[in-house]
Chains A and B, each alone.
Chain A
Amino acid sequence: MDLFLQQLVNGTVLGATYGLVALGYTMVYGIVQLINFAHGEIFMLGGFGALTTFLALPTGTPTAVLLPMMLLGGVIVSVTVAVLMERFAYRPLRGAPRLAPLITALGVSIALQELVRNFYPEAKSARNFPQLVDPNRQFSLGGDVTINAPSLLTVVVAVVGMVTLSTYVRRSRTGRAMQATAQDPDTARLMGINTDRLIVTAFVLGAALAAVAGVAQGLRFGQVDFRMGFLTGIKAFTAAVLGGIGNISGAVLGGFTLGLVEVMATQYAPEPFAGGAWKDAWAFVVLIIVLVFRPTGLLGERVAARA
């Protein structure tokens, strides 16, 4: 039983990351029906932005200052790249056939990965990330079930981020405009909503959350890697679809569900298909199953109608 509960905790931690990144996919998709493939790279850049900030600050800076600064650094890098990407890669293609932006997204994704690999110092393989939050510090959750400090931080940060975002989307003017645009872009435009600005907002918000996830990931594993965005990105997209793409609560739910499924499958799948080597395969199997049996996702209904 403890093993099961422990896996539940592990799945939640994993799901928190997926959920944070999935929010970016879902917001952008909700407004422009674009699968922003490069969103995983934004997540990766968040990690590298934080690392850069860390390296730039003098040694001996107290953690209480360091951590927020790193977070800020990561967010700034991610948001800047996301805005540039929207402006120069995606916006000119609005109204183009569907394949064009998707292929562009693919190109942007490859280019960003390669930029980091080639031009970030010593980033050809994983780079060490400062372990500011001691991973050996364990908190007991009852019985033998524990969670270590960085993981706890990940979950806390994720929940704060998700709550903030959903409050923003539900309460603010811009947030309501986003919801309106997601439901009917044409009418929203007729009502005087500036879609261009909304799209940028969606990119910015998504990038900020992805950056947070990227920093959390770095703290948790003690390293960042130019490749870390690709798989996380695809899985986060899976999470967004799982929850019902375009639906913000759906992305969160999908993220946690996918995290749990992945962890549980690794633990409990029939031999010989259990174990870490099959982890990613299971995530994709879930994706395919979900799309086949419930293409609208767990919470989504709207998208199918607009297909």
Chain B
Amino acid sequence: MTILQATAVTKRFGGLVAVKDVDLAIGEGEVVGLIGPNGAGKTTFFNCLTGMETPTAGTVIYRGSPLPRRPDLITKAGVARTFQNIRLFPNMTALENVLVGRHVRTKAGVMSAVGRGPRYHREERESEAKARELLKFVGLTTAGNELAKSLPYGDQRRLEIARALATEPGLLLLDEPTAGMNPKETVAARDLVRAVQGRGISVILIEHDMRFVFGLCDRIAVLVQGEKLLEGTPAEVQSDERVIAAYLGKAPEDAAGSSPKKAAKKAAPRKTVPKPAAAPDSDKDTPA
């Protein structure tokens, strides 16, 4: 059953076409990977799905009805996201960050907050219990009272996921969930995504760590220069020559990626491009 159906999503910035006619369907409980070289338009595509950018053309249907335009309404509808460059509320505690995620599922208004009747207290108690449960779920049991920005990097990523989960999404969009993580943290992140999937939540993730993507995703879509190159199971994608060509630079370089920062990042995924022969041996439980 399809939870999200994006059809012919296009985003133009002036003359530049960042995303071009991308179709993508996500099934209930599915984990879908979105890969592609830097500047391929993955994050822009995410932004189009979550209302950060308005698509120039195309439709996005979530659970049978079109997604609204505003980010907060999209979150309310059930699509939550994290950011490539973690965007927590740095001077709020971890618990408060997650509680902010509860905002969209709670009701108390000004009157009720000032009056503090029994209903207000019940709602606050429930919110806090939910938030603590989510902190535990992502493995941050002890960090509740620490400021978000003082958390170690991997914990910040997890906290961002907890905050997104607090909005009770049906679909979670993760933008590079393992960027900057060490191998141990990456393994933990994989387990976390599986656990999220275990809760019946569908996941789309952008990732450059190929081992991570191929070991985790049910399906993978490859985006190159704004267009979907192909879509298929990890095995199909892995063995496709076009993918390797796209990564190793046979496709023309995009002009924008000339700053040193981007160049440095570009080098990283190249190393992790799997050879066609290297099956994901480390992950015996790969879903086929």
Contact = CB atoms under 8 A, between A and B. Distances in A.
Interface of A: 187, 190
A190 B259 CA distance: 9
Interface in B259-274: 259-260
B44 to A, nearest CB: 14
Contacts of B260: 190
Q: How big is the B interface, by class?
A: under 10
Interface string B104-130: 000000000000000000000000000
Query: Chain A binding site: helix, strand, loop or mixed by DSSP?
Result: helix
A190 B263 CA distance: 14
Nearest to A187: B259
A190 B260 CA distance: 9
A140 B260 CA distance: 62
B54 to A, nearest CB: 14
Nearest to B260: A190
Interface string B251-265: 000000001100000
A110 B259 CA distance: 44
Contacts of A190: 259-260
3 contacts: A187-B259, A190-B259, A190-B260
Contacts of A187: 259
Contacts of B259: 187, 190
A14 B259 CA distance: 46
Interface string B220-261: 000000000000000000000000000000000000000110
B257 to A, nearest CB: 13
A187 B261 CA distance: 11
A187 B259 CA distance: 8
A108 to B, nearest CB: 28
A189 to B, nearest CB: 12
A55 B1 CA distance: 87
A190 B262 CA distance: 13
Nearest to A186: B259
B7 to A, nearest CB: 28
A2 B196 CA distance: 76
In the A-B complex, the 3 residue pairs with the closest CB atoms: A187-B259, A190-B259, A190-B260
